Structure 1
Amino acid sequence: MKILFMVQGEGRGHLTQAISLGQLLRQAGHEIVGAMVGTSPGRQIPAFFNEAICTNVLHFDAPNIIYNAQGGGMNLQRTIYTHLTNLPKYLKSLRQINEAVTQIKPDLIVSFYDTFGGLYNLIYRSGIPMVCIAHQYLLLHPRFVFPEKSRLNRFLINLNSRSTSWLASKRLALSFREIPSRTDLKLTVVPPLLREEIARLVPRNGDYLLVYMTHHSLSEQIIAWHLQHPEVKLHCFWDNLDAAEEFAYDETLTFHRINSEKYLNMLAGCRGLVTTAGFESVCEAMYLGKPVMMVPVPNHFEQECNAIDGVISGAGVTSRTFDLSVLLEYLPKHLNQSARFRSWYHRGNALFLEEIESFAGKLVGKVGYPKTKSSDSKALGR
C-alpha cells in the first residue's frame, strides 16, 4: 500500500511514533509516500525526524500550545487567542494538505493526532481511509482513570480527540498496558510505538539523573533545585535553540540540545528519569527498567492524565513540581516493570500490521491497484 503520514509536530512523541511505524511498514513491503508535519513559530522539527522518516516531508502551519515564562505552564488565553488570529493561516494549511493528498493519491492516510486530520476528512471528503494513532485516544476508553473533579477538562480533551479523528476508519489507542479494545467506539488498544534503537540498548546503572522537558522555560525549576542539591549529578535535555548543543551550567548540571541518539544512550545509563509526563519518554524508560518521576506541565490536563496512568502502570511517581527529592526518595521502592512492559510492547508489530493491512484487502481489484508484496498475505508471512 501507498501510505501517507500526517504528524502533529509539537513535542517528540508523535514524531518518533511515525518513525517507528514507518520502519515497521517498510519491512512489511509498504511504501511511505510522504509525511506532512504541522509546525509553529518557535518550534523546530528535530533533525532526527527528517533523517529517520526516509520520505519527503511537507511542513504546514499548525496550532500549538503557548506557555508562560519561567515554567508557568500552559497559557490558555494566549493559546486560544493565537489560534483565532491565525485562522486564515490554518485554512491555508488545510488547502495545502488537500493539494498534497490529491497529488500523491495514497491508499491510506495515517494521522498521528494531527490537529487537521478530522477537519480534512470533514471538509474535503476524499474517500481515502484514515487511521488515527495516539495515546490520547485511550482517554476515550470508559475504563480510563481521570483526575478527580475533572469533568469539564475530560469533556474538552475528548472533544479534541474526536475532532482529530472525525470520519476516521479506526482509532489506535497507544497504552502503557493491555486494556480490552472497544470496537463499538472504533477504539483498538495497542502497545506503544517505540523506535528500533530502544531494543538495542543495554541498561546500565549510572551515577546521574536524567531530565527531559518539553519547554526550556521549565529549566528554571531544575536550576533552583540543583542549587540546593549540587552533589546530585544531572543531565537535562531541552529545546532551547539559543543555547549551545551542550551547556555545562556547572560541574554537576549539564543541559543538552534535544538529540535522539544521545538522549537514548543517556537514558540507558541513568539512575532515573524526570520528565514532563510525555507518553513516549515514560514508555522508553519503562522498557529500560528506569524509574520515572512525571511532572505534568501546569494547566496541561493531558499530562495530568498521563501521569496518573503511568503510576497505575508502575512507571514511577508523580509530582507537581521539579522537586527531584521526590524521585530520590522513591528510587529504593521502585519495582522494575521492564519484563511485563516488554512482553506487551513486543506484541505490537503483529497488532499494527493486522490493523493497517485490514485495508489492503479492500483495495485489491480496484482500478490501478496491483497485487504487490504489500497486499499479498503470503509475502507477509501469513
Structure 2
Amino acid sequence: MRILFLVQGEGRGHLTQAISLGQILRSAGHKVVGAMVGTSPGRNIPSFFQEQIFAPVHHFEAPNIIYKVQGGGMNVGRTIATHLAHLPKYLKSLHRIHETVKQINPDLIVSFYDTYGGLYNMIYRSGIPMICIAHQYLLLHPKFIFPEKSRVNQFLINLNSKSTSWLSANRLALSFREMPSAPKLKITVVPPLLRKEVTRLTPQQGSFILVYMTHHSLSTQVIEWHQKHKDVQLHCFWDNAGASEEVVFDSTLTFHQINSEKYLRMLATCRALVTTAGFESVCEAMYLGKPVMMVPVPNHFEQECNAIDGVISGAGVMSKSFDLSVIFDYLPKHIDQSEKFRNWYHRGHQLFVREIAEFEKSIDIRRKMQSEI
C-alpha cells in the first residue's frame, strides 16, 4: 500500500513514532510516499526526521503551544488568542494538506495526532481512509486513570482527541502497558513505537543525570537546582534555537541542542532521566531500564496524565518541578520494568502490520467493486 503520514510537529514524540512506523511498514512491503508535518514560528523540525523518514517531507503552518517566558509553563490564554488570530493562515494550511493529498493520492493516511486530521476528514471528505495514532487516544479509554478533580480538563483534552480523529477508521492508542482494547469506541490499544536505534543500544550504568525538556524556558529550574548541587553531573537537552550546539554552563552542567544520536547515546549510559512528561521519552527510558522523573509542563494536562500513567506502569516518579532531589530520593526504591516493557513492545510489529493489513483488504475490495461498476 501507498501510505501518507500526517504528523504533528510539536515535540519529538510524534516525529519519532512516524519514523518507527515507517520502518515497520517498509519491512512489511508497504511504501511511505510522503510525510506532511506541521511547523510553527520558533520551532524547527529536527534534522533527524528529514534524515530518517525516507520519504518526501511537506511542511505546513500549524498551531503550537505558547509558553511563559521564565519557565512558568504553558500560557493558555495567549495560546488560544494566537490560534484565533491566525485562523485564516491555518485554513490555508488545511487547503495545502488537501492539495498534497490529491497530488500524492495515497491508499491510506496515517495521522500522528495532527490538529488538522479530523478537520480534513470533515471538510474535504476525500474518501481516503485514515488511521490515527497517539498515546492521547488512550485517554478516551474507559479504564484510563485521570488526576483527581479534573473533569473539565478531561472533557477538553478528549474533545481535542476526538476532533483530531473525526471520521477516522480507527484510533491506535499507544500505551506503556497492555490493556484491553475498546472496539466500540474505535480504540485499539497497542505498544509504543520506538525507533530501531533505541532497541540496538546496550544500557550501561552511568553516574550522570540526563535531562530533557520540551522548551528551553524550563532550564531556569534546572539551573536553580544545580547551583545548590554542583557535585552532580548534569547533561541537558533543549530546543534553544538561539544557543550554540553545546553550551557549557560550568564543569558539571552542559546544555545540548536536540540531537537524536547524541541523546540516545547518553540515555543508554546515564543513571536516570529527568524529563517533561512526554510519552516517547519515558518509553525509551523504560526500554533501557532507566528510572525516570517525570515533570509535567505547568498547565499541560496531557503531560500530567502521562506522568500518572507512567508511575502506574512503573516508569518512575512524578514531580511538579525540576527539583532533582526527588529522583535521588526515589532511586533506591525503583524496580526495573525493562523486561516486562520489552515483551509488550516486541508484540507491536505484528499488531501494527495486522492493523494495516485489515485496511489493505478493505481497500482491495473497494477497488474491485469500483472496477465492476
The TM-score, its normalising length taken from structure 2, stands at 0.98
CA distance in 2, matches of 1:29, 1:357: 11
Cα shift readout 1:279-321 (whole Å, capped 9, x = no counterpart): 0000000000000000000000000000000000000000001
CA distance in 1, matches of 2:72, 2:219: 11
Structure 1 residue 330 displacement after superposition? 0.7
SS of the equivalent of 1:90 reads: helix
> 1:282-293 residue pairs with structure 2 within 5 A?
282-293=282-293
Structure 1 residue 55 displacement after superposition? 0.6
Cα shift readout 1:215-240 (whole Å, capped 9, x = no counterpart): 00000000000000000000000000
**Structure 2 unaligned regions, length at least 5:** none
CA distance in 2, matches of 1:366, 1:112: 25
Amino acid at match of 1:186: K
The TM-score, its normalising length taken from structure 1, stands at 0.96
Report the equivalent of 1:5.
5
Structure 1 residue 366 displacement after superposition? 5.3
SS of the equivalent of 1:364 reads: helix
CA distance in 2, matches of 1:353, 1:147: 34
Report the equivalent of 1:236.
236
Amino acid at match of 2:198: I
Root-mean-square deviation (CA, aligned residues, Å) is 1.0
Structure 1 residue 363 displacement after superposition? 2.2
Indicate whether 1:179 and 2:179 are aligned: yes
> 1:219-368 residue pairs with structure 2 within 5 A?
219-364=219-364, 367=367
Amino acid at match of 2:216: H
CA distance in 2, matches of 1:365, 1:81: 46
Distance 1:366 1:182, change over 3 A: closer
CA distance in 2, matches of 1:104, 1:322: 45
CA distance in 1, matches of 2:367, 2:316: 52
Report the equivalent of 2:106.
106
Structure 1 residue 352 displacement after superposition? 0.4
Structure 1 residue 367 displacement after superposition? 4.9
Indicate whether 1:47 and 2:47 are aligned: yes
Report the equivalent of 1:118.
118
SS of the equivalent of 2:202 reads: coil
Indicate whether 1:69 and 2:75 are aligned: no
CA distance in 2, matches of 1:363, 1:172: 19
The number of aligned residues is 369
SS of the equivalent of 1:143 reads: coil
Amino acid at match of 2:284: E
Runs ≥4 residues deviating over 4 A: 365-369
Amino acid at match of 2:251: E
Identity %: 73
CA distance in 2, matches of 1:366, 1:158: 32
CA distance in 1, matches of 2:366, 2:166: 25
SS of the equivalent of 1:359 reads: helix
Amino acid at match of 2:204: R
CA distance in 1, matches of 2:48, 2:241: 15
Structure 1 residue 212 displacement after superposition? 0.2
Report the equivalent of 1:151.
151
**Structure 1 unaligned regions, length at least 5:** 370-382
Amino acid at match of 1:202: T
SS of the equivalent of 2:133 reads: strand
Report the equivalent of 2:129.
129
CA distance in 2, matches of 1:52, 1:71: 31
CA distance in 2, matches of 1:52, 1:169: 27
CA distance in 2, matches of 1:359, 1:280: 26
CA distance in 1, matches of 2:22, 2:244: 31
Structure 1 residue 365 displacement after superposition? 5.6
